[in-house]
Amino acid sequence: MDRKIINFIQKHHVLSCSFFATEKIHSASCFYIFLENPSRFVVASNQDTLHVELATKNPKVSGTIHLETKKIGKIQGIQFNGSWNEAKDSEKKAYLKRYPYAIALNPKLWCILIEYIKFTDNTLGFGKKLEFRNI
């Protein structure tokens, strides 16, 4: 994955993701950590949420991370696709190290294995796009 994409992802901490299954669609915002090799996000979300219900029926997920700005030349953001899975122990430890206060909430942790990212970065030129495929 291009270092510019990784640097952008690491500067932020909230992603928005969307889910679809059985004629229902839902979106959620989640705190995340990013892990490499393979590229993935780890997020926390309760088992009883609608988006987790949908993800257990259809693990395909799409989402975004973006910089909020009104200056066209500073627009940056990613769009991603991936698959939703239960987090492994090593991923859980990494998440709780980054967000130790989450331990008190005893969250259910999930992993989004990234399959595709498109990074728009106008600081590199208007409409400049970088892509990453992990499939």
pLDDT of 31 reads 95
H or E element at residue 25? strand 24-35
Query: Which residues have a Cβ under 8 Å from the Cβ of 68 and sit 6 or more positions away?
Result: none
Number of domains in the chain: 1
pLDDT of 134 reads 86
pLDDT of 50 reads 93
CATH label of the domain that carries residue 76: 2.30.110.10
Q: Could you tell me the residue range of the domain that residue 8 belongs to? A: 3-133
Task: Classify the C-alpha dihedral 31-34-39-42 as positive or negative.
Answer: negative
Mean pLDDT of successive 10-residue stretches along the chain, which has 135 residues: 95 97 94 96 93 95 95 94 97 96 91 97 90 87
pTM of the predicted structure, to 2 decimals: 0.92
Q: Are 17 and 31 in contact (CB under 8 A)?
A: no
pLDDT of 106 reads 87
pLDDT of 63 reads 98
